[in-house]
Every structure is written in structure tokens, then in C-alpha cells.
């Protein structure tokens, strides 16, 4: 029987693979049937994810994958930039085994980018940042980044990111090359630029309807523009500017 940790990990992976969209309902009974476990274990898993900011619960409607607001989206990317750039700055130089592991990850990324499995591609591009934190020796921050990466994946889905997967992979390649060369300052710059470019690719500009919540209703109930009828051709020497009256019964 899977544990609550197993279930929460599977849900995080599904989010990072873009297989669970923002706002997806996560029914306790359905998950219990799927994982062949009790609803108590499922509820514990979902409670953990709620604490980590991945799901939310409504007393009457149940559990749902979060739908981050635009402000939350900006904060998530700002937090990632602070964490990841700071992590590179503070950690000692990477050893050969860590570099080897990152290069292996990059090989899987490149294969996924060339392939057709969108889920694998999305997961590996996000998991690079988790892998980097682990290779730098900070597993606590790796767990934190896993949650932030899942959230930013949801944000990219919700706000229709136009960022190119090929470019993301190339950014990762350059970051690893800088780390391998021992150029920490360059690696910091590349990471900051990479996270900034992903953020800039989001459609975070508020729509007009957000500024005016009554916009749709206001447009629908605006007075109908009355266009004057063109004059009818004279029948008895006098031009007629108004249409003949219509018997209402003819319309019913």
C-alpha cells in the first residue's frame, strides 16, 4: 500500500509533467481507488500538498490543484531567482561526480526535447533545477525548489507561456558549462537570466476584464445603437424615412 508521501510525490511529478492542469479536482475517493489505499492516506497526502502550496481545499467542493494569481506567479519566479542564484553563489565548487550527474541529466533533457513526449520534456526541464540543488549538496533547498518548480509549471500552463523548450535546455547547458569551468559569477548571471526569460514569456498582463469586473455585462447591456433607416423610394411622390409598422403577431 502506498504511503501519503508516495501519493504526494506522484501528484507533484504529474504537475511537473503538465499532466494535472491548474484547477483540476482531486477527489479523495477516486484517488483512494487509483492507489488502492484508504481515504485517510489520501487525505494526509493532499493535506501535505496543501501545506506546500500545490493544492487547495474547499469545505464544500473538495480538493483542487491550485490556480496561482498573477501576483503569486511573479512572487514564485522572484523566489526561485533568489534561491537558485544564492545557492550557486554560496555553495563550494562542484566535484566531478556532481558535474557528471548534471551532464547525464542534460542528455536526457536533450533527448526529451527532440522527442514527442511533452510530459517527459516538461518534467526533465523542471527537474534540472532540483537536480542542481542536490548536486550542490543542499537537499533541503532541493525539496523547496521541487515545490516551487511545480508551482511555476502550473503558472506556465495557466498563463500560456511562450518560452521555448529548446532554449531552456540550452540555458541549462550553459549553466553547467560555467559551473564545470568554476566560473560561479557567470553561472549566477546565466541562472538569473534564464529564470527571468521564463518569467517574461508568461502572459501576466491583466486583461481589461480584470480591471472592470462588470466589463462583459456592461458591454452586453449597453443600449443598442439605432441606425436610421435609409429613405424608401417614393411611391406617391413623397419620400418615406421610417419603415412601415410591423404587426407584432407576425414575429411570434
How confident is the prediction along the chain (252 residues), in pLDDT tens digits per residue?
899 999 999 999 999 999 999 999 999 999 999 999 999 999 999 999 999 999 999 888 899 999 999 999 999 999 999 999 999 998 888 899 999 999 999 999 999 999 999 999 999 999 999 999 999 888 899 999 999 999 999 999 999 878 789 999 999 999 999 999 999 999 999 999 999 999 998 887 765 545 566 766 777 777 776 666 666 666 666 555 555 554 444 444
Sheet bearing 25-26, strands edge to edge:
25-26, 62-65, 55-58
Rounded CA gap, 194 and 189, in Å? 8
Q: What is the pLDDT of residue 221?
A: 79
Q: What is the pLDDT of residue 161?
A: 79
Q: Is 108 exposed, middle or buried (0-12, 13-18, 19+ CB in 10 A)?
A: middle
What are residue 80's phi and psi, to 5 degrees? Answer: -60, -40
Q: What is the pLDDT of residue 78?
A: 94
Rounded CA gap, 127 and 133, in Å? 10
How many other C-beta atoms are found inside a 10 Å radius of the C-beta of residue 112? 20
The answer to whether 77 and 199 have CB atoms below 8 angstroms apart is: yes
Q: What is the pLDDT of residue 251?
A: 44
- Spell out the CATH class of 4-65: mainly alpha
Q: What is the pLDDT of residue 91?
A: 84
Cell 500560456 maps to which residue? 160
Q: Which CATH architecture has domain 70-200?
A: Up-down Bundle (1.20)
Domain parsing of the chain, residue ranges: 4-65, 70-200
Who's near 214: CB < 8 A, 6+ residues apart? none
Cell 411570434 maps to which residue? 252
Amino acid at each position: 500500500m502506498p504511503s501519503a508521501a508516495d501519493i504526494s510525490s506522484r501528484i507533484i511529478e504529474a504537475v511537473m509533467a503538465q499532466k494535472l492542469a491548474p484547477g483540476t479536482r482531486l477527489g479523495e475517493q477516486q484517488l483512494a481507488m487509483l492507489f488502492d489505499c484508504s481515504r485517510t492516506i489520501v487525505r494526509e497526502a493532499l493535506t501535505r500538498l496543501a501545506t506546500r502550496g500545490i493544492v487547495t481545499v474547499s469545505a464544500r467542493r473538495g480538493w483542487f490543484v491550485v490556480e496561482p494569481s498573477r501576483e503569486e506567479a511573479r512572487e514564485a519566479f522572484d523566489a526561485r531567482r533568489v534561491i537558485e542564484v544564492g545557492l550557486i553563489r554560496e555553495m563550494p565548487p562542484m566535484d566531478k561526480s556532481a558535474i557528471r550527474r548534471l551532464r547525464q541529466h542534460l542528455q536526457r533533457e536533450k533527448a526529451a526535447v527532440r522527442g514527442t513526449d511533452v510530459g517527459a520534456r516538461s518534467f526533465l526541464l523542471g527537474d534540472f533545477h532540483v537536480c542542481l540543488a542536490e548536486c550542490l549538496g543542499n537537499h533541503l533547498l532541493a525539496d523547496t525548489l521541487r515545490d516551487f518548480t511545480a508551482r511555476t509549471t502550473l503558472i506556465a500552463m495557466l498563463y500560456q507561456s511562450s518560452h521555448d523548450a529548446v532554449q531552456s535546455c540550452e540555458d541549462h547547458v550553459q549553466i553547467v558549462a560555467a559551473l564545470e569551468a568554476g566560473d560561479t559569477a557567470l553561472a549566477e548571471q546565466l541562472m538569473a537570466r534564464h529564470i527571468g526569460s521564463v518569467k517574461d514569456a508568461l502572459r501576466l498582463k491583466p486583461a481589461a476584464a480584470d480591471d472592470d469586473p462588470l466589463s462583459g455585462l456592461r458591454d452586453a447591456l449597453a443600449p443598442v445603437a439605432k441606425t436610421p433607416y435609409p429613405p424608401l423610394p417614393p411611391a406617391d411622390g413623397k419620400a418615406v424615412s421610417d419603415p412601415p409598422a410591423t404587426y407584432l403577431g407576425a414575429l411570434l
